[in-house]
Structure 1
Amino acid sequence: MIWGSKDVRWTVSHSRELVPSAAVRRGERVSPLPRALVDLDDLPITAGDVTMSLTEALQQSDVDGFLVIQRGTVVFERYLTMQPETSHILQSVSKSMTAALVGVLVGEGRIHPDDLVPDHLSELAGSCWDGCTIEHLLDMRAGVAFNETDYEDEASESYRGFRVLGWLPRLEDDPSPTDYIAAMSLQGPHGGPFEYRSILTDVLGWCLERASGEPLASLFASRIWQPMGAGHDADLLLGPGGFPLVDGGFCVTLADLARFGLMFLQGGAVDGRQVVPAEWVQRLRSADADRIEAFRSSPDSHDMPPTAFYRDQWWVRDAEAGIYSGYGIHGQQVLVHQPSECVVARMSSWPRPWDDDAARLGDAAAFAVCAALG
């Protein structure tokens, strides 16, 4: 859907016009975002052997909007090709949002990381999902086969899977998302090496709906979006049969993405009220050798520090310091950076799903801003 579009910039802010969606309603109370803006336009950004200003870096990496919060206050904000009220697709930053909802339902006792997937989805008993836990889904360590290394390879299993889910035009004989998931095969044991596969998040969302008895959009609204004090309604894209596309289908405003990051910066609390259990957020501050080793063998580790790992649908760069990000194709990011007490929210429209140079420039800009403010 996105990577097949001829006009990515239009598509990222009009996704609900292309794919069915459900509204994620905001509440009556909006969490305030006071402003004390700082001039960072000329901040030097170095990526590789090239140095440019922050303004040039944002322009060259197809950024649509860029917002920085420090200690609860907006200190920098630029809207390049979008407006404050624009609802922009998050792609895989949606995964981090979905995992936050898992934390809330764990706190309610409705689901547990050690639960087996078929405990919640009985139709998956006797399939490749036997022995797979919620934790395996959260950490991308299930053993199912779904090669997601090339979003544009039409012969790949992941391309077929995204087509089945409704991200791309479906074929007449494509199965339903749930039937497709039930028929998947194993490539290795559950709990093995990290391998990034979006379908695992979709199974996670299916488990959340079953555990709660509620549609994902309304569940997320009541447990996260409204208590967080979102300023605008969000949208969640839906696949065939109303299947929630939580692997990448949340569409939100830039400020609300920043509010979500701020909630994690504040240990899961908003305006003094706990939204996501503090102990769930604290999991991201706890490194262990097993997760680091499982991540190290992945190609995704190459541009990450040796302390990095993947947990609860976040890319953790440094658990001890409290530095972690949600990332999405076409250039989406929310960075939580405890040392500088900053959150950086970025929305972009890269022409192709993944661009290594744009990704490095985006990270360079985000970390340079945190360093300058910190």
Structure 2
Amino acid sequence: AGPELARYADPQGRYPRATRANWNSPAASVDGFSRLDEIFPANTSARAAAPRPWRRPAAGTPVGAAVDDYLARNPVTGLLIARDEVILAERYQYGRGDAHRFTSFSMAGGLLALMAGIALQERRLRLDDPAQLYVPGLAGSPYGATPVRHLLTMSSGMRPRDDLTADDLEGMGLPGGWEAGGVRAARLYEERLAPPGERWHPSVGDAFVLGLVMRAVAGQPLCDFFSDRLWKPIGAEADASWILERGGQELGFTGFNAVLRDYGRLGALLARQGRVDFRQVVSAAWLRELTRAQVGARQTGRGWGYGYQTWVFTENDGSFAWLGERGQALMVDPARRLVLVQAAVRPQSRDAGIAETVALWQSLRRVHQPLRLPAG
């Protein structure tokens, strides 16, 4: 069950089977968003040999009524709330469950930013290098001359392409007519409005080219780099998947899929400043940069600041979010070690429902005060 069931299910309560032609339509989104890696070719990021266990509270939690009220009004397929690796709530709707791999859309940009931090530490990447240094096929193009740093902050200065056709978007986002490597798709963007770093605008193009760079920097399939550096270290319980472009490589900027509790494990890693027990999986210094408002809320005009592929709450207290189209969200408050993960099937890419998700998040932050955490 779930709200507005008639939008998502037939009169018998069955969810339409998604295909390559209709997976993104509201009517097929329940099925499509929870098994995208069965509809399109995908590579796998292997899970951990021994999953990191979650704890459950011995008694009830103070979030139950708020969660019930929220789910009754919002087309959420999965919602997980955790604090300090204790699951406070885990709910599913529309016939989904803990084995479904939910797609994340633009949230995948945050994963690219995490991998960029690891590559930086491994001296595979320098933020002020132009993209063409890593992707030679971009040489001579405006995107090729754009430093990696400004791809991370969505500040390339390139004119956004709101006029992209369905074929264009298919070529960038799904297996389609583009050549291997995706360089031809990147060259759809030819007009620069401002020098890199001077103008912010969220752009599929910036994230797409960042994905090309990270595929090159990894030196191996991106799914394997991600599995070895992040997925296994966090103790993932299930394999994750990455949708492939026509050339057989991971898209990177979108098309990542995982079960809800593993998204929660990613959130727990971020809440603990990149640590899992005594292992520093991601540099704490990098996470501070990633979650700092490199671009202020006034400049974004959206009530949020923006870091490295990451939305930053205006409180500037270290809390942040990864957001994906159609309601996907991961919200983290390191001071409270609080995590919210949401998979959803909102009918439109830009939906006012995000305000309700933020309101739920802020209510959770009011209930749970910052923890007294040991130094380091």
TM-score (norm 1): 0.85
Q: Is the 8 A contact 2:172 2:208 kept in 1?
A: no
Return the offset for 1:4: 3.9
1:237 and 2:243 are equivalent in the alignment: yes
Q: Does 1:333 align with 2:329?
A: yes
Q: What is aligned with 1:46?
A: none
Partner residue, 1:364: 359
Q: Is 1:65 equivalent to 2:81 in the alignment? A: no
Per-residue deviation, 1:122: 1.4
Whether contact under 8 Å (2:210, 2:253) holds in the other structure is no
Equivalent position of 1:42 in the other structure: 65
Tell whether 2:46 aligns with 1:33.
no
Secondary structure of the structure 2 residue equivalent to 1:224: helix
1:77 maps to 2:90: yes
Q: Which residue of 1 aligns with 2:9?
A: none
Q: Which has the higher contact order (CA 8 A, sep 6+)?
A: 1
What is the aligned counterpart of 1:182 among 173, 184, 187?
187
Q: Show the 5 A alignment for 1:216-365.
A: 216-284=222-290, 286-287=292-293, 291-292=295-296, 296-298=298-300, 301-302=301-302, 304=303, 308-318=304-314, 320-356=316-352, 358-365=353-360
1:165 to 159, 163, 172: 172
Check conservation: 1:24, 1:217, Cα contact below 8 A: yes
* Deviation of 1:215 (Å): 1.1
Shift of 1:98: 1.4
Equivalent pairs counted in the alignment come to 343
Is contact 2:271-2:335 (8 Å) kept?
A: no
Residue equivalent to 2:7: none
8 A Cα contact 2:107 2:323, kept in partner: yes
Q: Distance in 2 between matches of 1:184 and 1:222?
A: 33
In structure 2, the CA distance between the partners of 1:160 and 1:191, relative to structure 1 (3 Å rule), is farther
Residue of structure 2 equivalent to 1:151 = none
SS at match of 2:339: strand
Residue in 1 that maps onto 2:104: 90
The match for 1:196 among 194, 198, 202 is 202
The Cα shift of 1:101 comes to 0.7
Deviation at 1:322, TM superposition (A): 0.9
Give the 3-state SS of the residue equivalent to 1:202 in structure 2: helix
What amino acid maps onto 2:204 in structure 1? S
In 1, are the aligned partners of 2:56 and 2:86 still within 8 Å (CA)? yes
CA–CA distance in 1 between the matches of 2:293 and 2:321? Answer: 15
TM-score of the aligned structures, taking structure 2 as reference length: 0.85
What is the aligned-residue RMSD (CA, Å)? 2.1
C-alpha deviation, 1:157, in angstroms:
1.9
In the alignment, the residues of structure 2 paired with residue 260 and residue 33 of structure 1 have an alpha-carbon distance, to the nearest angstrom, of 12
Q: What percentage of residue pairs aligned between the two structures are identical?
A: 24
CA separation of 1:282/1:201 partners in 2, compared to 1, >3 Å: closer, same or farther?
Answer: same
SS at match of 1:336: strand
In 1, the alpha carbon distance for the partners of 2:291 and 2:26 equals 38
- Any idea what SS the aligned residue of 1:367 has? helix
Structure 1 residue 269, shift from structure 2 partner: 0.7
Offset at 1:339?
A: 4.0
Give the Cα–Cα distance (whole angstroms) in 2 for the partners of residues 84 and 93 of structure 1: 19
List runs of 5+ in structure 1 lacking aligned partners. Answer: 44-53, 149-155
- The structural deviation recorded for 1:325 is 0.1
